[in-house]
Structure 1
Amino acid sequence: MRITRVLSGALLALGPVLGLALGPAAAPAAADSTPSASPSDDSSAPTEAGTSFRTATEIDQGQTATASGSAGDYLYWSFPADSGQRPTVKATVKLPETHTTQTWQVDVYDGLRRRQACQYGAQTRTAGQGTASVELACVLRTVRAWSEPWADDPLPGTYYVRLTALDLKAADLGLPVSTELRVDSKDIGGAAAVDGSLAKPLVPGIAVTSQAEEDDADDSSATAVLSSIEPDDGWASGWWSDRWVWTAIGAVLAALAGIGGYTLTRGSGRPRHVPPGA
């Protein structure tokens, strides 16, 4: 009974701490089941694509961008991805009624223009004769807040999507095609957290902009950024994750275990009866 009273008192005393710890932890758990970026109004989604990295059309996560082009063209889009996100790129190519066998491929590059491998998904697909459309998908690895210089890990910043047909036959070159592209992300949370963060996200031109702002804040002509998109809630600082919450919960449980172990090993604490004259 004494042990039960001690543990009950400890739980009551630590109840507010557990409440504060479990409260923030519930939010990442709920976020794991839904896309990290709220769907945007598709009426404002872009209706064209760029033809190179520098002219890539900027899109937000959750938007369905469309574009018309010709078979053989390179189509480019760009989108922002922050630490803890696992982006999924989906592309649909609608083909003309008459065409030969075509192979389409979607590639994703980071802000340093390093090609990022797809964790899974149909990155390359072949459409046979008479096929009306072909669907492609690329699920990237989780974006890390920091990485070793020699590593090829995805890092926060701008990502580029390139969609094109491979080894087209001469009869199909120039045939009109229409495309749809959508990017969504899943928040992975503390499971992908690392110690450290980038000084700046990998956004083309951001370092030049920061230096120009320090040199002359009034010179707006020198502060152009090649990519102006960023997450709706801004770039994450990189130091906070729900890993801190679970660490705090573990510390509380360890403290409870210590209190229980001490109570079990110290005994009742009452002195034994000593006979008179002993």
Structure 2
Amino acid sequence: MRTTRMVAAALLTGAALLTTAAPALADTPSPNPSKSKSEGAPTVAGTTFRTATTVKQGQKATADASSGDYLYWVFPADAGQRPTVDATVTLPSTGRHETTTWRIDVYDGLRRRQPCMYGMQTRSAAADATSVALSCTLRPVRAWADTWSTDPLPGSYYVRLTAVGLPAADRGLPVKAEMTPTTVKAGGAHAVDGTLSTPLGAGGPKAEPDDGWSSGWWTDRWIWTAVGGVLGALAGVAGYALTRGRGRPSYVPRG
């Protein structure tokens, strides 16, 4: 009976640890833009990488421009995050003649264009369309990677929005652009050993998380490592108790 109780206690302890650690593995949804982020949100966009307008995560940036302009923003993304960029272009209700095609591109701090995991990166708007929506979700940001790799790394991420298919007759028409960068936690499955000494793009426009750079020192992989160690120890204790219990000779009282 004592052995059975020890095994049951070990199993219950392991289940409790797994239940406690499980919520840490779930993706954390992007926070809704708060009033503090809405206040003071950028109302202009840069025209080059060097003049890109800094935007915080979850902050909606707006800009009045003309069709044919290149619009640039920059936002920070840290290790363990998976960024998504959403953009909407409001088109003039009159004056347009043909279909136009809009595109959003995202570059890291080394000006390397990052591919989208999913999202509508390029869309065409008919001559009577009033707006066009674009989206790009990047791969999870890694704390470190080999120099030959194009994996996204912590640092500044530049967003470029422009019309790539624009009839000459529609150039210069007024448009209004909106762009919002958000992130979710990617989880320990994407964690790697090693960190960057400096976030990419540190010499460009200032883009840094409100709580500073984490440098990738913490991941929920640590939780699973600890849980695995505890479960291994409990399994060893339970196995020893079972083996010791079976090896004892049965006591038969003599009458």
TM over 0.5: yes
Mapping 1:195-210, distance limit 5 Å: 195-205=193-203
**CA contact under 8 A between 2:68 and 2:171: conserved in structure 1?**
yes
Q: Which residue does the alignment assign to 1:35? A: 30
Cα distance in 1, alignment partners of residues 31 and 186 from structure 2: 9
CA distance 1:107–1:9, shift in 2 (3 Å) = closer
Q: Please tell me whether the aligned partners of residues 36 and 187 of structure 1 are also in contact (alpha carbons under 8 angstroms).
A: no
Q: Which amino acid aligns with 1:263?
A: A
State the 4+ residue runs in structure 1 displaced beyond 4 angstroms. 8-12, 271-274
Shift in CA distance, 88/54, structure 1 to aligned 2, threshold 3 Å = same
CA-based RMSD of the aligned residues comes to 2.3
Structure 1 residue 228 displacement after superposition = 1.9
| 2:235 alignment partner, one of 257, 263, 267 | 257
Q: For 1:10 and 1:26, how far apart are their aligned partners in 2?
A: 18
Distance between the aligned counterparts of 2:165 and 2:10, measured in 1?
Answer: 70
Query: How far apart, in 1, do the equivalents of 2:192 and 2:43 lie?
Result: 37
TM-score (norm: length of structure 2): 0.89
| Deviation of 1:232 (Å) | 1.5
Structure 1, 114-123 or 248-257: larger mean CA deviation: 248-257
- Alpha-carbon distance change, 2 to 177 in structure 1, aligned in 2, over 3 angstroms: same
**CA contact 1:106–1:123 (8 Å) conserved in 2:** yes
- Aligned partners of 1:36 and 1:85 also within 8 Å: no
Is 2:107–2:159's contact at 8 Å kept on the other side of the alignment? yes
Task: Single out whichever of 86-95 and 40-49 deviates more from structure 2.
Answer: 40-49
Q: What letter is aligned with 1:266?
A: R
Shifted more, 90-99 versus 1-10: the winner is 1-10
Structure 1, unaligned runs of 5 or more: 206-225
Equivalent residue number for residue 78 of structure 2 = 82
Secondary structure (helix, strand or coil) at the match of 1:267 reads helix
1:95 and 2:91 matched: yes
Match of 1:169 in 2: 167
**What SS does the aligned partner of 2:218 have?**
coil
Identity %: 60
Check 1:255–1:170 CA distance in 2 against 1; reply closer, same or farther (3 A cut): same
Residues paired across the two proteins, number: 248
1:106/1:9 CA distance change after superposition, 3 Å: closer
